[in-house]
Structure 1
Amino acid sequence: MKQYYAERNGLIKNSISLSEDELISFFVQTYQYFHSKEYFKCATKGVWRSIPYSNDEELIIPPSLAPAPEVFFATRLQITQVWPIYEYAENYTEEILFTVIEILYDHIAIYDYKKNELITEEPKAEFAEYINNILRMYNGGYYIEPTNGFIMKLPNETLKQQLSYDGKEMPNEVFEQLSTASSMYYRFDANLETKKKAINLLADILEKEREYVKNLFNEEYEVPKNEHDKLIFGIVNGFNIRHNRADQKTDYSKEIWHDWMMQYYTSVIIAFYKLKTNKEIEKLF
Structure 2
Amino acid sequence: MNDILPDYGQGYELTEQGEILTLPDDAFALMLTAKIPHADTQNIVERIEVAKLKYRRRALDERRDAVRDLADVLEFLRAEARTVLASKDEADLFNLANNFGIRHHNKDQKTDYRRTH
For the superposition of Structure 1 and Structure 2, which TM-score range results when normalised by the shorter chain?
0.7 to 0.9
The separation in 2 between residues aligned to 1:202 and 1:152, in whole angstroms, is 19
TM-score (norm 1): 0.37
1:214 matches 2:82: yes
Judge conservation of contact 2:57–2:63 (CA < 8 Å) in 1: no
Instruction: Note if 1:163 corresponds to 2:24.
Output: no
- Structure that is richer in helix per residue: 1
2:29 and 2:101 map into 1 onto residues whose CA distance is 27
For the pair 1:151 / 2:20, whether they are aligned, the reply is yes
1:198 aligns with 2:66: yes
Partner of 2:57: 187
Secondary structure of residue in 2 paired with 1:181:
helix
Contact 1:151 1:187 in 2 (8 A): yes
Query: 1:103-122 alignment to 2 at 5 Å?
Result: none
Structural mapping, 1:1-285, within 5 Å: 131-146=1-16, 149-167=18-36, 169-171=37-39, 172-173=41-42, 174-188=44-58, 190=59, 192-218=60-86, 225=87, 227-253=88-114
Cα separation, partners in 2 of 1:252 and 1:162, compared to 1, 3 Å: same
Q: Percent identity?
A: 32
Shift of 1:213: 0.6
AA paired with 1:201?
Answer: D
Give the whole-Å Cα distance in 1 for the aligned partners of 2:66 and 2:28: 15
Calculate the aligned-residue CA RMSD, in Å: 2.0
Q: Across the two proteins, how many residue pairs are aligned to each other?
A: 113
1:139-163: per-residue Cα shift (whole Å, max 9, x none)?
33111245x5532122111211111
- Please list every run of 5 or more consecutive structure 2 residues that lacks an aligned counterpart in the other structure: none
**Counterparts of 1:158 and 1:145, CA distance in 2:** 21
Shift of 1:198: 1.2
CA contact (8 A) 1:214 1:228 kept: no
SS in 1 for 2:21: strand
Question: Partner amino acid for 2:90?
Answer: D
| Structure 1: segments with no counterpart, 5+ residues | 1-130, 219-224, 255-285
Residue type of the alignment partner of 1:165? A
Cα contact 1:150–1:183 (8 A) shared by 2: no
Compare CA radii of gyration and give the structure with the larger one.
1
